[in-house]
Structure 1
Amino acid sequence: MVMDSQGRLIMVGDDIHNNILIYDKSGKLLDSWGIRYKGGHGLSLWNDGEEDFLFICDTDGAMVKTTLGGRELLLIEHPSEYGAYEKEDAFKPTETAIGPNGDIYIADGYGSQFVLQFSKEGEFIRKIGKGRGTGNDQFQTAHGVCIDDRDKSNPTLLVTSRASNSFKRFTLDGTYLEEISLPGAFICRPVINGQNLYAGVCWSSEIDFVEGNMDTHPTRTNPNSGFVTILDESNKVVSNPGGRAPQYLNGQLQKMLQQEPIFNHCHDVCVDSDGNIYVCQWNANKTYPIKLERV
């Protein structure tokens, strides 16, 4: 889910009757469109200074740039067409981020575990990371990606490594910088709002999976165990709505788990202009997103 410059909330799903749902802040449905994104999964919004655009990730193998009304402007399909992958390599994009110059970063979170960088015109630039694995610049489910622009003079790229319970930071041209560990939390997309970093936690677990192959949906985690996590400008966890309060021992964050059964699988969060949080859930039994009002 994203919020556009008109203050409307826009959500993507994988139901091809209406892939895109547009709400106001009260939850009233204003509009809907989209009938072909069978794997509708990730949604990002970018404003070029004049107009809002949407970037839709379809895990069936495409990234599509559209207007707010659904007119398709750019299609990026299998990376083998650009010399980035072999034809047999899996490509199941899960999220995008748009750089300060309009470059498009695509997280291949259910596919071959790279972040692919394209120009705003759709020209391939580079692969970021070294694919699936446990190395510093490798990913275990590169589920989400965002531009961390809290330091305006030095924006960086944050990439989810969900099964290793962490975010990994890179320069915008792909150099690995650091890992932000969030033990126990199978996090989804990082979302920057003000000086805070927000994320939905799809599962929480006492078990570590970093050495395993957990590219899609872990089978040994605790089901229906999601919560929301919030980090401050120092990337310290300060709040876990629905989860246990964060605890640090000798500077090390302790394992985080669901505390209250408020959520099932928190798949994304969106923060509006008033600081309210909207939580979108995967496998949510057709329920609306949950709104958490700022207090």
Structure 2
Amino acid sequence: MSSHIALPENGIDPHHKIIGEGAFTYRVNNRWGILDRDQYPVENCHDFAIDSNKRIYMVTDHPDNQIIVYDCEGQLIDAFGKMFPGAHAIEIVQEGDDEFIYLVDSGWISNRKWDGISTDAWDSPTNKVIAQSGFIAKLTLDGVLIFTLSHPQTIGIYTPDMPYRPTDIAIHNNGDIYVCDGYGSDYVIRYDKQGRYLSHFGGHDNVDSDHNLANAHGIAIDRRNPDSPQLIISSRAEQCLKLFSLEGKYQGKIDTPGAWVHGPVFAKDYFVTSVCWSDIDGKNVDNSGFISIFDNNNNLVVNLGAGKPEYRNNQLQPMATTWDIFNHPHGICIDDDGNMYVGQWRAGQSYPIKLEKIG
């Protein structure tokens, strides 16, 4: 399968395509970050982080390399890591004079018994990927392991039969670590900066269903109001983002009807979230992803690669059913100039796309 963005449209090179509107207008650069596929192959480009030297770290779940490091122009700086087969999310955090990587392995692993055909038969022993337990790793920027956080059954908060396949992580200013178990049991687990368990919330069986999470795929800390930071967590199967206090108390939600959203990525007073699939008549549609941008009031103002958002009586209407840029956007990071770097799931093993901000 080829990525949408690799295909010409009306004879126009998509490298020059302009998308968005107003302050959120971008030029699509699908030539950014292309490498020698024999040396630096990718499977799915999952997530990104930027360090203080403006180096961009991308995680991929290809078995030959799971972390690729670029400069902002898309030139290769480094590539390493064969010990994270389910690499899915990454955060880079300043701690004192040093920076560290927090990497999330979601537990999916390439199947050495793949039948060469099955890609969606998740319970099949011959599917292309199969599930195992995931974990969290803290690393130096060079990839040296500091510590790991393993299955929550080891600290007594999961029973042995409960799956653990974490999908994302957020780090608070005090060092507290929040881990989303979005492909497992849908809890958010909170640790201190040394990896000691503090609390957990979410899951599926709360008396108040607002506290439940369903495919808690992404998480971020909203610091736009420094006096009351809060967690914003995607509950993808419910097609919404849920808001919680740092202690795990439910505070509201942002509906995203028709969109399976990832967690937010913040830039100044707005945030961006990738939409891996559009939901049409209760089904996830292939190659139907796009990127949504929300303003300081958490209102959706722009969809990149899909139709314009519409509100009626302050309620966001189901998303448009036309898509022209992306397959399945997944990870995003935003540099100081507002440019976006976008990785995709199931996009023909394509390298990242850079959206160059011109608005």
TM-score under structure 1 normalisation? 0.93
Q: Which residue pairs with 1:178 in the alignment?
A: 252
Q: 1:18 corresponds to which letter in structure 2? A: N
CA-CA distance at 1:132 after TM superposition:
6.3
1:202 alignment partner AA: C
* Aligned position for 2:45: none
Residues 1:44 and 2:94 aligned together: no
1:101 aligns with 2:164: no
> 1:87: how far off?
1.4
Corresponding residue number in structure 2 for 1:6: 53
| 2:228 alignment counterpart | 154
Give the alignment's Cα RMSD to 1 decimal. Answer: 1.4
Q: Is the 8 A contact 2:185 2:203 kept in 1?
A: no
Residue in 2 that maps onto 1:238: 301
Distance of 1:286 and 1:273 partners within structure 2? 27
Q: CA deviation at 1:130?
A: 3.5
Deviation by residue 1:76-103 (Cα, 9 ceiling, x = unmatched): 0000111111111100011100012101
Alignment of 1:109-120 (within 5 A): 109-120=182-193
Distance in 2, Cα, partners of 1:132 & 1:197: 30
Residue 217 of structure 1 is matched in structure 2 by none
Say which of 24, 27, 43 aligns to 2:74: 27
Answer whether contact 1:185 1:257 (CA < 8 A) is retained. Answer: no
Q: Deviations over 1:236-295 (max 9, x none)?
A: 001111011111111111111353321000112111111011111011212111111111
Q: Distance in 2 between matches of 1:232 and 1:239?
A: 9
Structure 1 counterpart of 2:353, from 278, 290, 293: 290
Amino acid paired to 2:241: F
Counterpart-to-counterpart distance in 2, 1:57 and 1:164:
23
Identity across matched positions, percent: 39
Partner of 1:202: 276
Higher relative contact order (CA 8 A, sep 6+): 2
CA distance in 2, matches of 1:27, 1:288: 10
Displacement after TM superposition at 1:205 (Å):
2.0
Aligned to 1:276: 339
Aligned partners of 1:112 and 1:132 also within 8 Å: no
Conserved? CA contact 2:90–2:101, under 8 Å:
yes
Q: Which amino acid aligns with 1:129?
A: G
Write the deviation string for residues 46-89 of structure 1: whole angstroms up to 9, x where unpaired.
Answer: 11242221111111211001111101112000001111111111
Range with greater deviation from structure 2 (50-59 or 233-242) = 50-59
Q: What amino acid is the match of 2:350?
A: T
Q: What runs of 5+ residues in structure 2 fail to find an aligned partner?
A: 1-47, 108-133
Hey, what does 1:140 align to over in structure 2? 214
Larger CA Rg, structure 1 vs 2 = 2
Q: Which amino acid aligns with 1:62?
A: F
> Secondary structure of the residue that 2:154 maps to in structure 1?
helix
Alpha-carbon separation, structure 1, partners of 2:247 and 2:256? 25
